Amino acid sequence: MPTALITGATAGIGAAFARRLAADGFTLVLVARDESRLAETADRLKLRYGVSVEVLPADLAGEDGLSRVEARCREGVDLLVNNAGFTLLGRFPDNPVADELRMLKVHCEAVLRLTLAALPGMKERRRGAVINLASVAGFFASSSYGASKAYVINFSESAAAEARGDNVRVMALCPGYVRTEFHQRASMDMSGTPGFMWLDADRVVGEALRDLALGKWVSVPSLRYKAVVAAGKLFPRRLVSELSARFGR
């Protein structure tokens, strides 16, 4: 059975990946900070899908947690889903630098290190894939959150180009607003966001896996967000940046 390691696996898009991959028969390695919630998630998946589930409690913002997940990736996985992430409520000049650095640790350093830990084994076996969760925000100037996701997109494309000769795929997944706990955890009031802009996590995962199978390096789920990204490229970058700074959050 192929093995998938998913970070941030207890909620939102990570949990949707866990459900879908369990249904597809993958052995799962689930990573999250909350050990009790992780165990509950694993029990539900084992009961419903009859798959083997390994739990790895770890905080990717800390060196100990990141190193332990890095070591597990080196043991060998067939699919790595770098999903863990969060955002901050305030504008970046107002946020404590420690909070900003913690976000960069999870979004950038963890993605880099876990991808590099998993790739050698995949290349040796000549099979495997990595999905790095980015965001539509990565195509726009949207505070340090958007900057971190721009890194994920650029890094994933670079890694995809390097790995393609080894029959290994790397893809950045760039959703827009998804109905998860993400904004609630950041205490963001999203009540003014139009209903049609929200995506379903299970559908996002379905489109992501389809795009991965097609060999895409960047996946933007749904036509509405494909249009948003395309429209952003039509206007001067400075104008887009100013509008993002004013309205993006």
Positions marked active-site:
145
Nearest to 4 by CA among 92, 57, 59, 76: 76
Strand, coil or helix: 65: helix
Cα-flanking dihedrals φ and ψ of residue 158, to 5°?
-65, -45
Nearest to 156 by CA among 138, 182, 180: 138
Structure tokens at 104: 């960069």
Strand, coil or helix: 199: strand
Distance, in Å, from the CA atom of 112 to the CA atom of 143, rounded to the nearest integer, reads 21
Structure tokens at 11: 């909620």
Distance, in Å, from the CA atom of 19 to the CA atom of 95, rounded to the nearest integer, reads 35
Buried b (16+ CB within 10 A) or exposed e, 62-97: eeebbebbbebbeeebbbbbbbbbbbbeeebeeeee
Distance, in Å, from the CA atom of 211 to the CA atom of 7, rounded to the nearest integer, reads 20
- DSSP state string for 124-142: HHT--EEEEE--GGGGS--
